[in-house]
A and B are shown apart, each in its own frame.
Chain A
């Protein structure tokens, strides 16, 4: 009797836990808020500004998803995660979506059971050094002390790069970007290595940015993208197509400013499908048909988000490079919406 009661409770609790992971969309709707895992603080990608408002390239994607799903880009709870805690946070269900300049890799996709639904930033690992060292190439870093964030792919790339070039180095492992920058500026390491975009972002915040250079070598491929839990395909599709919608919007010249005007006048079938004027796209995964319109209206299309957070008009000043649309020589290529 007692035993069967326990087994019953056990089965019930297991079911509950199982159910909690099955339908993220229902959870988010019931909660009325999107839990989005972001960086604890990386200028341009995700950080809280002086007023405590989260801003950044990754943050804006969270807002776009919230706008698509909940109809309100402000209904996001940002959960700051470090390189070490991010995947546990996603796997345990603490966050619904992880947009934290995380590199898509085989192990993370297959073994850790995540799905990277898109690549919102094509990056590569670089090195930053002080100008006074007189170093002009990463291959001159033999014997150097290098600051590196733990729990990242950069940690492994660094070891591989020095090994492949038969160089030696001393690693200083640190927890996050701000600690790494502190150590680097204090002289605890000769070089700081992380994604080139992160280096540019970090340098932009330094008081003496002109005394630091980013070495020309890019030693790895770092496709950074939003990740969701494996197995909840509907939720994965929603995030994927919200992102694709932002890309298509840029392709078609739909911006935050002109979206209403375009919706009223456009005769382009794809634009009409994108803005929910034709077809039943949203309804296919349980949203309404103008989900993409709301996502674009939140912070603009992909290009606008890039320019506002990382582009040449900001202190970070990154060029589009690989992240330009495919029509302009980049790699950003949205799947057709039909």
Chain B
């Protein structure tokens, strides 16, 4: 380099070697070249040292272990994996586990962070102080503690899977209860009304709610309608509340045919724990069991480079994309009509149809139904096995890591959002207010779009932090990249250096990809200078 630039000089006054040091034109280059050589020598020395020392121990650098049978199992995998697969596939499983928790973590952290950041600037004293407390608590306690805390709380407070089981004792109790009911003449509607526990706390609460609902409904109806029509409309909620008392609330409001003492003698007639949400989601001390979507008429699938590709999922994605594009065209047309005539045509029902109807039709055509998790039962109706079967089990290690990462990072994002909003001159919101925009719209249409330019660059580093922090999942046995490649694979093969190098390379690649994506987004939203 130095020689190439010196050719012109040499022709003029002759180039002497001493000029490399004494001539200011060359000195900078000389110093840089020397620094570069020293740096390369240092790297070379480090590498050489590593190789020699490994050699002295009789070890080499060899990535062949990636093609050897792994032999261990992973509790949670996104793509199929068995212990017969090789270490390379285990690494990919770990990588996907890292990415999935980072992906959902970033989304959740952004949503919570933006809400908290905006609310922290609220004029409401209580809300803004609460948000300040939120931010200070979450960002000033180490992340590892949050992960452990969330994990311990959800795994220690939830019931064991066995509590969801129907045992022979429960079946006996049920038979005994049925016998009592038959003796007393069934457990029909009249029986329930006859045995209402009028003085009990649940009934008093129900009655208070009944009065409140009726009064509120009457006020609502009488303000809008006249006479009989108002009375009719006011009666609907009250009627619903009475029906609920006779059905949903019935067990706590009425005594049933058997006296409490008799019931206690019979014992429990239901398992100790029950599932939420129409009996479909079970939260145990091990994980959350959610229903899995199943298709009666799937479109099949294939395998691409070891990764299964499901055509049904692709079809759903394709339909969604087409719907979104069509909806955009509708909105665009409405906008152009508004600009030319000043009247915006009503489009919400068209959008609704375009967005949802094709998807619903497709899912109906594929025969979508849900596989609800539950214990298998034997001939007598007694639950067998150790865990709920069917559905998808989301392990608590994932949930805890996701919640803790999202809450912790959201505290930082909230501060970034607040800083971004405060960077917008007051004049902007005052001008918007002068135009008659309400505060919500001012924030959404005027302030936030401008604040984005300030927010995005620091947001990138928060996303990077979150992604790298997923490696703390090792504390709750979440098998991410650190858990598979840097944990079990490293241990079983003894290839510490190779595993560490590979892991660093993968994390570096992920980080660079995230930065690239966010930089592209930043370029799209930043001030356009022409």
Please judge, given known A-B contacts A145-B386, A188-B285, whether A6 and B45 are in contact too, CB under 8 Å: yes
- Interface pair A156/B56, CB less than 8 Å apart: no
- Interface pair B487/A21, CB less than 8 Å apart: no
Kindly list chain A residues whose C-beta atoms are within 8 Å of the C-beta of B385: 142-143
User: Which 3 A-B pairs give the minimum distances between C-beta atoms?
Assistant: A151-B491, A159-B83, A144-B386
B492 at the interface (CB under 8 A from A): yes
- Interface pair A187/B59, CB less than 8 Å apart: no
- Interface pair A84/B487, CB less than 8 Å apart: yes
Q: Taking the nearest CB of chain B, how far is it from the CB of A39, in angstroms? A: 16
Kindly list chain A residues whose C-beta atoms are within 8 Å of the C-beta of B73: 158-159, 169, 171
Q: How far is the CA of A145 from the CA of B387 in the complex (A)?
A: 8
- Interface pair B59/A113, CB less than 8 Å apart: yes
- Interface pair B56/A14, CB less than 8 Å apart: yes
Kindly list chain B residues whose C-beta atoms are within 8 Å of the C-beta of A230: 58
A160 at the interface (CB under 8 A from B): yes
- Interface pair B156/A186, CB less than 8 Å apart: yes
Cβ-defined partner of B56 (8 Å) among A10, A18, A141, A160: A18
A83 at the interface (CB under 8 A from B): yes
Kindly list chain B residues whose C-beta atoms are within 8 Å of the C-beta of A144: 386-387
Pick from B46-54, B126-134, B218-226, B451-459 the stretch touching chain A. Answer: B46-54
A277 at the interface (CB under 8 A from B): no
Please judge, given known A-B contacts A84-B491, A111-B494, whether A14 and B52 are in contact too, CB under 8 Å: yes
Q: How far is the CA of A106 from the CA of B358 in the complex (A)?
A: 60
- Interface pair B58/A156, CB less than 8 Å apart: no
- Interface pair B387/A163, CB less than 8 Å apart: no
B16 at the interface (CB under 8 A from A): no
Kindly list chain B residues whose C-beta atoms are within 8 Å of the C-beta of A79: none
What residue of chain A has the Cβ atom nearest to residue B160's Cβ? A187
What residue of chain B has the Cβ atom nearest to residue A159's Cβ? B83
Cβ-defined partner of B386 (8 Å) among A113, A143, A160, A173: A143
Chain A positions 167 through 194: 1 when the CB is less than 8 Å from some CB of chain B, otherwise 0: 0011111110000000000111110000
Given A17-B52, A145-B286, A156-B71, 7 further pairs, Cβ under 8 A? A14-B49, A14-B52, A108-B494, A111-B493, A144-B386, A155-B488, A160-B71
Chain B positions 378 through 422: 1 when the CB is less than 8 Å from some CB of chain A, otherwise 0: 000000011101000100000000000000000000000000000
Q: How far is the CA of A6 from the CA of B496 in the complex (A)?
A: 28
Provide a sorted-by-A list of 24 A–B residue pairs whose CB atoms are within 8 angstroms: A6-B41, A14-B49, A17-B53, A17-B56, A18-B56, A84-B487, A84-B491, A91-B57, A107-B494, A111-B493, A113-B58, A143-B387, A143-B389, A145-B286, A150-B477, A151-B492, A155-B488, A156-B492, A158-B73, A163-B83, A170-B387, A174-B477, A186-B156, A229-B57
Please judge, given known A-B contacts A6-B45, A155-B488, A159-B83, whether A188 and B155 are in contact too, CB under 8 Å: yes
Kindly list chain B residues whose C-beta atoms are within 8 Å of the C-beta of A145: 286, 386-387
A231 at the interface (CB under 8 A from B): yes
B9 at the interface (CB under 8 A from A): no
Kindly list chain B residues whose C-beta atoms are within 8 Å of the C-beta of A158: 73
B372 at the interface (CB under 8 A from A): no
Kindly list chain A residues whose C-beta atoms are within 8 Å of the C-beta of B286: 145, 170, 172, 188-189
Q: How far is the CA of A189 from the CA of B155 in the complex (A)?
A: 11
B75 at the interface (CB under 8 A from A): yes
Give A125-176 interface residues, CB cut-off 8 Å to B.
Answer: 133, 141-145, 150-151, 155-156, 158-160, 163, 169-175
Kindly list chain B residues whose C-beta atoms are within 8 Å of the C-beta of A150: 477, 487-488, 491
Kindly list chain B residues whose C-beta atoms are within 8 Å of the C-beta of A143: 385-387, 389
B74 at the interface (CB under 8 A from A): yes
Kindly list chain A residues whose C-beta atoms are within 8 Å of the C-beta of B74: 171
Q: How far is the CA of A127 from the CA of B464 in the complex (A)?
A: 42
Q: How far is the CA of A155 from the CA of B496 in the complex (A)?
A: 19
B483 at the interface (CB under 8 A from A): yes
What residue of chain A has the Cβ atom nearest to residue B491's Cβ? A151
- Interface pair B477/A173, CB less than 8 Å apart: yes
Kindly list chain A residues whose C-beta atoms are within 8 Å of the C-beta of B447: none
Q: How far is the CA of A3 from the CA of B48 in the complex (A)?
A: 14
B290 at the interface (CB under 8 A from A): no
A291 at the interface (CB under 8 A from B): no
Q: How far is the CA of A241 from the CA of B148 in the complex (A)?
A: 46
What residue of chain B has the Cβ atom nearest to residue A107's Cβ? B494
Q: Taking the nearest CB of chain B, how far is it from the CB of A43, in angstroms? A: 23
Q: How far is the CA of A190 from the CA of B285 in the complex (A)?
A: 12
Kindly list chain B residues whose C-beta atoms are within 8 Å of the C-beta of A91: 57
- Interface pair A173/B155, CB less than 8 Å apart: no
Kindly list chain B residues whose C-beta atoms are within 8 Å of the C-beta of A112: 494
Q: How far is the CA of A296 from the CA of B486 in the complex (A)?
A: 42
B146 at the interface (CB under 8 A from A): no
What residue of chain A has the Cβ atom nearest to residue B42's Cβ? A6
Give A84-98 interface residues, CB cut-off 8 Å to B.
Answer: 84, 87-88, 91
A205 at the interface (CB under 8 A from B): no
Give B51-97 interface residues, CB cut-off 8 Å to A.
Answer: 52-53, 56-59, 71-75, 83
Q: How far is the CA of A211 from the CA of B479 in the complex (A)?
A: 31
Please judge, given known A-B contacts A143-B385, A174-B477, whether A186 and B494 are in contact too, CB under 8 Å: no
Q: How far is the CA of A173 from the CA of B492 in the complex (A)?
A: 14
Kindly list chain A residues whose C-beta atoms are within 8 Å of the C-beta of B496: 88
Cβ-defined partner of A170 (8 Å) among B48, B59, B75, B492: B75
- Interface pair A10/B48, CB less than 8 Å apart: yes
Please judge, given known A-B contacts A10-B49, A159-B83, A173-B477, whether A190 and B386 are in contact too, CB under 8 Å: yes
- Interface pair A173/B483, CB less than 8 Å apart: yes
Q: Taking the nearest CB of chain B, how far is it from the CB of A151, in angstroms? A: 4
A13 at the interface (CB under 8 A from B): yes
Kindly list chain A residues whose C-beta atoms are within 8 Å of the C-beta of B83: 159-160, 163
Chain B positions 229 through 263: 1 when the CB is less than 8 Å from some CB of chain A, otherwise 0: 00000000000000000000000000000000000
Q: How far is the CA of A231 from the CA of B496 in the complex (A)?
A: 20
What residue of chain A has the Cβ atom nearest to residue B69's Cβ? A156
- Interface pair B72/A21, CB less than 8 Å apart: no
Kindly list chain B residues whose C-beta atoms are within 8 Å of the C-beta of A111: 493-494
Q: How far is the CA of A306 from the CA of B314 in the complex (A)?
A: 63
What residue of chain B has the Cβ atom nearest to residue A14's Cβ? B52
Q: Taking the nearest CB of chain A, how far is it from the CB of B98, in angstroms? A: 16
Cβ-defined partner of A187 (8 Å) among B285, B393, B491: B285
Kindly list chain B residues whose C-beta atoms are within 8 Å of the C-beta of A18: 53, 56
Q: How far is the CA of A21 from the CA of B52 in the complex (A)?
A: 13
Q: Taking the nearest CB of chain B, how far is it from the CB of A106, in angstroms? A: 12
Most buried by B among A14, A21, A169: A14
Chain A positions 5 through 41: 1 when the CB is less than 8 Å from some CB of chain B, otherwise 0: 0100010011001100100000000000000000000
Q: Taking the nearest CB of chain A, how far is it from the CB of B345, in angstroms? A: 55
Kindly list chain A residues whose C-beta atoms are within 8 Å of the C-beta of B494: 87, 107-108, 111-112
Cβ-defined partner of A113 (8 Å) among B57, B487, B488: B57
Kindly list chain B residues whose C-beta atoms are within 8 Å of the C-beta of A142: 385
Please judge, given known A-B contacts A156-B492, A173-B483, whether A21 and B57 are in contact too, CB under 8 Å: yes
Please judge, given known A-B contacts A18-B56, A113-B58, A230-B58, whether A172 and B45 are in contact too, CB under 8 Å: no
